[in-house]
Amino acid sequence: MPIQIPAIGEKFPEMTVVTTHGVKKLPDDYSGKWLVLFSHPADFTPVCTTEFYAFAKRYEDFKKLNVELLGHSVDSVFSHIKWVEWIEKNLGMKIPFPIIADPGAEVAKKLGFLHAQSATHTVRAVFVVDPNGVIRAVLYYPQELGRNIDELLRAIVAMQVGDKLKAAMPANWPNNELVGDRVIVPPARTVDEAAERVKHYTCYDWWLCHKEGSPADAELARSFLKRAAGV
């Protein structure tokens, strides 16, 4: 049976989940905030441990962007509690965000976290949900590949800037090869609008126009990219 994956632009499906911080209702408990829900294959595994350390290390960066983190795996709440205790005791990093316990894989099945790679452990999925409870991004990584947390932060800044400026964001923003840290003007929808477009914006052509972005946000995004590159 093919997996069913909630789609970008849809409301995040309503559900009640058990976490290490108690019962939560999704997406209502995160109304007004951005939510990054991410799954990991299993507790007490090496790549997952490096990811949780990295997420926790950047927790304040997410908070400054009005983002809450929520982990998930098919392990029990008891396993989650013991694992985060181990991380704090042995690695010196406190895990400040909740983790969904899903031993029956009910949440994983609803959200399409179980792929052909394994029938019992989730892939590394990421759902980015906006303050209105709408799914804005869905990312999947295989079990053997850890995620780049700084790139996820950059993507969230880009989405927030796009919302604020009613614009689209170019490749590699804010270091795009064609427009730098500027943003893309949405395509014209009428002949008259296309003719007027080049009069009001900087354009390669009427369908490829750009405008000034948000310098402060661009610099913030660059800081994440530098950190991701180890600079």
Is residue 184 a contact partner of residue 168, using CB atoms and an 8 Å limit?
yes
How large is the C-alpha radius of gyration of the chain?
Answer: 20
Catalytic hit among 48, 69, 128, 156: 48
User: In angstroms, how far apart are the furthest CA atoms of the chain?
Assistant: 65
For tokens 């170019």, name the residue. Answer: 170
Q: Give the number of residues written for the chain.
A: 231
DSSP 3: -
Q: For this structure, is 209 an active site residue?
A: no
C-alpha–C-alpha distance, residues 201 and 14, integer Å: 42
Question: Which residues touch 64 (CB under 8 Å, ≥6 apart)?
Answer: none
Is residue 73 a contact partner of residue 106, using CB atoms and an 8 Å limit?
no
What are the backbone dihedrals phi and psi of residue 112, each rounded to the nearest 5 degrees, phi first? 75, 35
Is residue 113 a contact partner of residue 120, using CB atoms and an 8 Å limit?
no
Question: Which residues touch 76 (CB under 8 Å, ≥6 apart)?
Answer: 101, 103
Residues annotated as catalytic are 48
